[in-house]
Amino acid sequence: MNIVTEYPGWWVIVCILLGVAYAAILYYRERSGDLPLSLKRMLAVFRAVTIAVIAFLLLNPLLKSVFTTTEKPVIILAQDNSRSLLIGKDSAYYRKEYPGRFRKLANQLEKDYQVRIYSFGDKVRPDVDFSFAERQTDISSLFDELLTNYSNRNVGAMLLASDGLYNKGLNPLYASAAIKFPVYTLALGDTAVQKDIFIRKVNFNRMAYLGNSFPVEVKIGAHLCGGMKSVLTVTDGQGTVFSQNLSIPDDNFSQTIRIRLDAKKEGLQRYRIRIAALENEISTANNVQDIFIDVLDSKQKVLMLSLSPHPDIAAIREAIESNFNYQVDYFPVNKFTGQVGEYNLLILHQLPGKGKMAANVIAAAKKNKIPVLYILGSQSDFTAFNRQEAGIRIMAEENSFNEAVPVLNEDFALFTIDDKIRNAADNFPPLIAPFGEYKVLTSANALFYQKIQSLVTNYPLVLFSQTLNEKSGVIAGEGIWRWRLEDYLKTGNHDAFNELITKMVQFLSVKVNKSFFRITGENNFMENQPVEFDAEVYNQSYEPVNEPEVEMKITNSQGKNFDYVFSKTADAYHLNAGVLPVDNYTYKAKVRVGDMLYTVSGEFTVSPLNIELVNTIADHTLLYQLAVKHDGKMLQLQEMDAFPEILKKREDIKTITYTEKRYKDLVNIPWVLLLILGLLATEWFIRKYNGSY
């Protein structure tokens, strides 16, 4: 520790001389009082030191300190804490004996190193409890955690104890690319193939419609089960809905079974897929898997009416029905006798027509707030159309039409337009659009503009209008069937056209939620995932409020209730109900705003996560590759106790000494100020005590 300044050293002498000169002049001319000579000299010294110190502080001196620290190498022990380690025959060893050996190794390493212990599975945690209860294995998140916490640290090496099986995150070989320290791996688990039949994976759609059938694809695997037989069954709450005998011809068996089930009951339905256990198989936990299907009571219904047959109708109908969420009913307008209010969307081709055709249908749609998509053409009555306030008014000349090529509006934002649609739209042929004056209302948004010959106009070709209570769309031309053919000609399919029409229909048919109390959240959670919901509450002016309390009651399939209260956020609510057991649940939320009580009901499911139980064969190849890639070695379980000796033989694992220089302004040090004040105060007291001024 020493004092430094940016000025030359002889300035210190100047400061001392300045202090001596000031004190000499002050006390040489001192005539008042009768101070002894020795006392004057002492006071002169006090004043000289004070002035010298003050003058020296004007040179902005710094107090330089040098700190030396030593850091032992950090040894990281990472333990796989997932369920897959307990599948094999040695599960008892991992529960009882292995934790003691691991702790003993950690204690031995702490004599020479800094030891940091982590466990990993679904998440990375400090230390390890050896519960082996994690339902997923994400090794890549472990490397991300280490890179965050140990960058620029003296990490000597890492020991990764695992069976090498991962089922979440990136491939560990790629995720560990930025790791700069040696990685040793401890090979756990059993690589021997054991007798086992299991469900590898189940593919299914989480939503189906009441009265329809839906597909389920079950992938089955088996090891060392050649010549044996089993049975695959699917059951719901009422009994068995599917059964198939399985014959296993060889010891390395794999099969995909495609099943169609009937959606007979509305709501969340639980189906259990089971393979009958075989004698002496290593694990039966992977023989069962539950799936949950949300059965809806109906599809979105679309009503199409036209003045006369037209190829546009077939093209649009096929595009809409390519999405199984929609059902299309088509009628000539003079043969429709149904109720418009039963539908989610009304499509009118060249209607309203002359002679007040479709006037009653349009009136019923407005009364029931049913969105309408108008397709204009040569048979349209433009005077009647303009009265509908559909976002555009067209003062068309009679029997006068243009060929209008679509030009995409880049600022359109009511729904997303992906590159597939953009590329297809560049090649769409023209529609036959009415010639005249177009007046666009402020509520309208154009999807396509009209390009007439080489001129891009501001006349909309396809547009949508949305107000507080109504939605409508207009295709201002006929011949859209040509778009479908052109799409097939360029790509060999109708995907772009179908997606475009589906997005248009979806935007129009989705109703705006105007309720004063809304609950949003998933309808399916995994068993290791917290159940969370968000809530919004509005007053009569549709302003968000969060003063009242929102309560929710969750009920499981046995009728047991769980009560919760939402936490308040900035202007809404949030609920984290924690992790719930696998089951079907219903909920009812309520809130009181003034004199009004609002309630919302719903249901959700918590699905099982058995991915750790599918693969019973340890992957030591991955562990070997990790060790080789990072200048380490894969150790067998019997070599575990030799790990400290292996580290001692490495010359690159050493204690590091750091030297750090720190500077501090001398003027900021309290004792310097106290010294100056102390000298001045002492000098003043002595002078006053002896009658001097």
Q: In the predicted model, is pLDDT for residue 513 greater than 70? A: no
The pLDDT assigned to 30 comes to 63
Contact call for residues 130 and 81 (beta carbons, < 8 A): yes
Share of the chain above pLDDT 90, in %: 56
* 512 or 573, higher pLDDT: 573
Name which of 568-582, 608-622, 625-639 the model is least confident about. 608-622
Q: In the predicted model, is pLDDT for residue 88 greater than 80? A: no
Over residues 251-266, mean pLDDT: 90
Name which of 126-140, 205-219, 238-252, 551-565 the model is least confident about. 205-219
The partner residues of 636 in beta bridges, in order of sequence, read: none
The band of 495, judged by pLDDT with boundaries at 50, 70 and 90, is very high
Structure confidence by residue, pLDDT tens digits, 434-492: 999 999 988 899 999 999 998 999 999 999 998 767 899 999 999 999 999 999 999 99
* Tokens of residue 51, six digits: 């002035």
Over residues 265-276, mean pLDDT: 88
Contact call for residues 83 and 132 (beta carbons, < 8 A): yes
Q: Tokens 């031309």 map to which residue?
A: 477
Helix (H, G, I), strand (E, B) or coil at 422: helix
The partner residues of 393 in beta bridges, in order of sequence, read: 439
The pLDDT assigned to 63 comes to 83
The partner residues of 67 in beta bridges, in order of sequence, read: 660
Over residues 261-265, mean pLDDT: 89
CA-based R_g, the chain, Å: 41
Side-chain half-sphere exposure of 506, counting CA atoms within 13 A: 15
* 54 or 693, higher pLDDT: 54
Residues contacting residue 490 through CB under 8 Å, at least 6 positions apart: 424, 427
Q: What is the dihedral of CA 143, 149, 150, 156, to 10 degrees?
A: -70
The pLDDT assigned to 407 comes to 96
Residues contacting residue 300 through CB under 8 Å, at least 6 positions apart: 325, 326, 327, 344, 345, 509
The pLDDT assigned to 298 comes to 65
The band of 48, judged by pLDDT with boundaries at 50, 70 and 90, is confident
By the 10 Å C-beta count (0-12 exposed, 13-18 middle, 19+ buried), 287 is classed as: buried
Most confident of 15-24, 47-56, 290-299, 570-579: 570-579
Structure confidence by residue, pLDDT tens digits, 133-190: 888 899 999 999 999 999 888 999 999 999 999 988 889 999 999 999 999 999 998 8
Of the candidates 359, 364, 372, 368, the one whose C-alpha atom is nearest the C-alpha of residue 473 is 372
* 614 or 502, higher pLDDT: 502
Name which of 143-152, 608-617, 659-668 the model is least confident about. 608-617
The pLDDT assigned to 31 comes to 57
The pLDDT assigned to 559 comes to 93
Q: In the predicted model, is pLDDT for residue 32 greater than 60? A: no
The partner residues of 518 in beta bridges, in order of sequence, read: 536
Q: Which domains does the chain have, with CATH numbers?
A: 2-67+663-689 (no CATH), 73-188+617-648 (3.40.50.410), 196-296 (2.60.40.10), 300-509 (3.40.50.880), 517-607 (2.60.40.1220)
* 352 or 27, higher pLDDT: 352
The partner residues of 63 in beta bridges, in order of sequence, read: 3, 664
Share of the chain above pLDDT 70, in %: 98
Name which of 227-241, 288-302, 372-386 the model is least confident about. 288-302
Whole-angstrom distance, CA of residue 280 vs CA of residue 297: 45
Q: Tokens 């695997």 map to which residue?
A: 221
Helices marked H in 310-381: 311-321, 359-367
| Average pLDDT of the chain to the nearest whole number | 89
